[in-house]
Structure 1
Amino acid sequence: MVRMALSYWLSKAAPKAWILTLFLILCTGLLVLLHMQLNNWQVGFYNHLQQHNFTGFYHALIQFALICSILVATSGWQTHVKMLLQLRWRQWLTNKYITLWLHKQNYFHMKFLVKAIDNPDQRIGEDIQLFVTHSLDLAVGLLRHLITLIVFSVVLWRLSGEIRVSLLTTEVIIPGYLVWSALLYSAFGTWVTIKIGRPLMLQNNLQQSNEANFRYSLIRLKEYAEGVVLCKGDTWEKHNLLKWFSNIVITQLAIIKTTRDITWISSAYTQLSTVFAFLIASPKYFNDELQLGQLFEISGAYWYVHSALAYIIESFGKIAQWQAVTNRLREFCTQLRLIQSQHLASNTSFYNPDTLITKELSVFSPAGHILVNKLTLALPGGESLLITGPSGCGKTTLLQTLAGVWPYFSGQMSCPPDSSVLFLPQKPYIPIGSLRAAVLYPYKHVSVTDNKVEEALHICKLAALLPRLDIETDWSKNLSPGELQRLSLARAILHRPKWIFLDETTACIDAAMEAEIYQILKEKLPDAAVISIGHRDTLTSYHRKILKLNGTGGWSYSEQPQQ
Structure 2
Amino acid sequence: MTARSETPGAMMAVPGDRQVALRFARLTAGFWGGPGGGRSWFWTLALATGIILSVFANVTINRWNGWFFDALEKKDSESAMIAMAVFPVLVLVAAGLGVVVLVSRETVQVHWRQWVTARLADAWVGQRRFFRLSLSGYEPANPEYRIADDVRWATEPVVDFAIGLLSAAITIITFIEILWKIGGGLTLQSGGAVFVIPAYLVLAAIVYAILVSLLVTVVGRRLPSLIAARNEGEARLRFSLMRIRDHGETIALARTEAGERRAVAQTYDSLVGRWLAMIRQRGRLTWITNGSGALVPVVPLLLAAPKYLSGEMSLGGVVQVAAAFVAVQNAFNWVLDNFMRIAEWLAAARRVNELADALERVDDEPPEEHLTVSPSRDGLLHLDDVTLIDRDGRTLAADISCSLPPGAMLHVSGELGLGKAALVQAVAGLWPWGRGAIRLPPDAFVTAVPQKLHLSEGSLRAVLDTGRAAPEEQIEGALRRYGLSGLTPLLDEYRDWDKELATGDRQRLALARAELEKPDVVLLDEATSALDTDAALELLAELRAARPDAIIVAFGQGAGFAEAASHRLLLKRAGGVVRMAPRHPGLDQPALPAILPAQIGPAE
**Structure 1: which amino acid aligns with 2:430?**
V
Match of 1:285 in 2: 308
Q: What's the TM-score, normalizing by structure 1?
A: 0.94
Q: Is 1:428 the counterpart of 2:470 in the alignment?
A: no
Match of 1:194 in 2: 217
Match of 1:523 in 2: 545
1:24-83 deviation digits (Å, cap 9, x = unpaired): 111011110000000011111011112222221121112211111111011111110111
- Between 472-481 and 312-321, the greater mean CA deviation after superposition: 472-481
Is the Cα–Cα contact under 8 Å of residues 67 and 83 in structure 2 kept in the other structure?
Answer: yes
Q: Distance in 1 between matches of 2:444 and 2:123?
A: 21
Match of 1:368 in 2: 393
Q: Distance in 2 between matches of 1:199 and 1:418?
A: 55
Q: Distance in 2 between matches of 1:417 and 1:196?
A: 64
Is the Cα–Cα contact under 8 Å of residues 39 and 300 in structure 1 kept in the other structure?
Answer: yes
Q: Distance in 1 between matches of 2:543 and 2:191?
A: 103
Q: What's the TM-score, normalizing by structure 2?
A: 0.88
**Structure 1: which amino acid aligns with 2:71?**
H
Query: Within 5 Å, which residues of 2 pair with 1:520-559?
Result: 520-534=542-556, 536-551=558-573, 552=577, 554-556=579-581
Match of 2:133 in 1: 110
Distance 1:51 1:405, change over 3 A: same
Give the CA deviation at 1:373. Answer: 3.5
Query: Within 5 Å, which residues of 2 pair with 1:137-148?
Result: 137-148=160-171
Structure 2 stretches of 5 or more lacking a match? 1-22, 594-604
SS at match of 1:368: coil
Query: Within 5 Å, which residues of 2 pair with 1:477-496?
Result: 477-496=499-518
For the aligned residue pairs, the C-alpha RMSD in angstroms reads 2.2
**Structure 2: which amino acid aligns with 1:432?**
E
Q: Distance in 1 between matches of 2:192 and 2:580?
A: 100
Is the Cα–Cα contact under 8 Å of residues 415 and 578 in structure 2 kept in the other structure?
Answer: no
Give the CA deviation at 1:160. Answer: 2.2
Distance 1:245 1:513, change over 3 A: farther
Q: Distance in 2 between matches of 1:302 and 1:216?
A: 49
1:392-433 deviation digits (Å, cap 9, x = unpaired): 261221121112111112333224678722211111122332
**Structure 2: which amino acid aligns with 1:429?**
H
Q: Distance in 2 between matches of 1:457 and 1:330?
A: 44
Is the Cα–Cα contact under 8 Å of residues 518 and 542 in structure 1 kept in the other structure?
Answer: no
Query: Within 5 Å, which residues of 2 pair with 1:97-246?
Result: 97-165=120-188, 171-246=194-269
Match of 2:272 in 1: 249
Give the CA deviation at 1:209. Answer: 1.1
SS at match of 1:550: strand
Q: Is 1:351 the counterpart of 2:351 in the alignment?
A: no
Q: Distance in 2 between matches of 1:166 and 1:487?
A: 95
Q: Distance in 1 between matches of 2:354 and 2:481?
A: 49
Is the Cα–Cα contact under 8 Å of residues 416 and 578 in structure 2 kept in the other structure?
Answer: no
Is the Cα–Cα contact under 8 Å of residues 453 and 507 in structure 2 kept in the other structure?
Answer: yes
Q: Distance in 2 between matches of 1:419 and 1:373?
A: 25
Give the CA deviation at 1:103. Answer: 3.6
Count of residues in Structure 1 that have an aligned counterpart in Structure 2: 560
Distance 1:198 1:87, change over 3 A: same
1:218-264 deviation digits (Å, cap 9, x = unpaired): 22222222222222334433333233222222222222222222222
Match of 1:451 in 2: 473
- Between 106-115 and 84-93, the greater mean CA deviation after superposition: 106-115
**Structure 2: which amino acid aligns with 1:341?**
D
Q: Distance in 2 between matches of 1:532 and 1:428?
A: 16
**Structure 2: which amino acid aligns with 1:364?**
I
Is the Cα–Cα contact under 8 Å of residues 382 and 527 in structure 1 kept in the other structure?
Answer: yes
Is the Cα–Cα contact under 8 Å of residues 346 and 404 in structure 1 kept in the other structure?
Answer: no
Q: Distance in 1 between matches of 2:157 and 2:440?
A: 45
SS at match of 1:16: helix
- Between 152-161 and 309-318, the greater mean CA deviation after superposition: 152-161
1:309-328 deviation digits (Å, cap 9, x = unpaired): 11111111101100101111
**Structure 1: which amino acid aligns with 2:380?**
T
Q: Distance in 2 between matches of 1:426 and 1:542?
A: 20
Q: Distance in 2 between matches of 1:346 and 1:234?
A: 40
Is the Cα–Cα contact under 8 Å of residues 32 and 40 in structure 2 kept in the other structure?
Answer: yes
Give the CA deviation at 1:182. Answer: 0.8
**Structure 1: which amino acid aligns with 2:375?**
Y
Give the CA deviation at 1:559. Answer: 5.2
Give the CA deviation at 1:271. Answer: 0.8
Match of 2:98 in 1: 75
Q: Distance in 1 between matches of 2:56 and 2:155?
A: 27
- Between 523-532 and 354-363, the greater mean CA deviation after superposition: 354-363
Give the CA deviation at 1:531. Answer: 0.5
Distance 1:419 1:351, change over 3 A: closer
Match of 2:74 in 1: 51
Is the Cα–Cα contact under 8 Å of residues 564 and 591 in structure 2 kept in the other structure?
Answer: no
Structure 1 stretches of 5 or more lacking a match? none
**Structure 1: which amino acid aligns with 2:566?**
R
Give the CA deviation at 1:308. Answer: 0.3
Distance 1:164 1:48, change over 3 A: closer
Q: Is 1:396 the counterpart of 2:426 in the alignment?
A: no
Q: Distance in 1 between matches of 2:192 and 2:269?
A: 65
Distance 1:168 1:240, change over 3 A: farther
Give the CA deviation at 1:215. Answer: 1.2
Give the CA deviation at 1:214. Answer: 1.2
Calculate percent identity across the aligned residue pairs: 27
Give the CA deviation at 1:196. Answer: 1.7
1:506-545 deviation digits (Å, cap 9, x = unpaired): 3343333322332322333322111111064333112111
SS at match of 2:529: coil
Distance 1:283 1:463, change over 3 A: same
The one of 407, 410, 414 aligned to 1:382: 407
Match of 1:405 in 2: 430
Is the Cα–Cα contact under 8 Å of residues 285 and 295 in structure 1 kept in the other structure?
Answer: yes
Q: Distance in 2 between matches of 1:209 and 1:281?
A: 49
1:368-406 deviation digits (Å, cap 9, x = unpaired): 123344444321221111222314261221121112111
Match of 2:494 in 1: 472
SS at match of 1:470: coil
Distance 1:391 1:412, change over 3 A: closer
Is the Cα–Cα contact under 8 Å of residues 387 and 399 in structure 2 kept in the other structure?
Answer: yes
- Between 142-151 and 247-256, the greater mean CA deviation after superposition: 247-256
Greater helix content? 1
Is the Cα–Cα contact under 8 Å of residues 366 and 408 in structure 1 kept in the other structure?
Answer: yes
Distance 1:372 1:235, change over 3 A: closer
**Structure 2: which amino acid aligns with 1:544?**
S
**Structure 2: which amino acid aligns with 1:385?**
L
Q: Distance in 2 between matches of 1:416 and 1:191?
A: 67
Give the CA deviation at 1:98. Answer: 1.4
Q: Distance in 2 between matches of 1:191 and 1:517?
A: 74
The one of 304, 319, 322 aligned to 2:342: 319
1:451-472 deviation digits (Å, cap 9, x = unpaired): 2222211111112222211011
Distance 1:498 1:12, change over 3 A: same
Is the Cα–Cα contact under 8 Å of residues 156 and 302 in structure 1 kept in the other structure?
Answer: yes
- Between 108-117 and 500-509, the greater mean CA deviation after superposition: 108-117
Q: Distance in 2 between matches of 1:11 and 1:381?
A: 45
Give the CA deviation at 1:299. Answer: 0.6
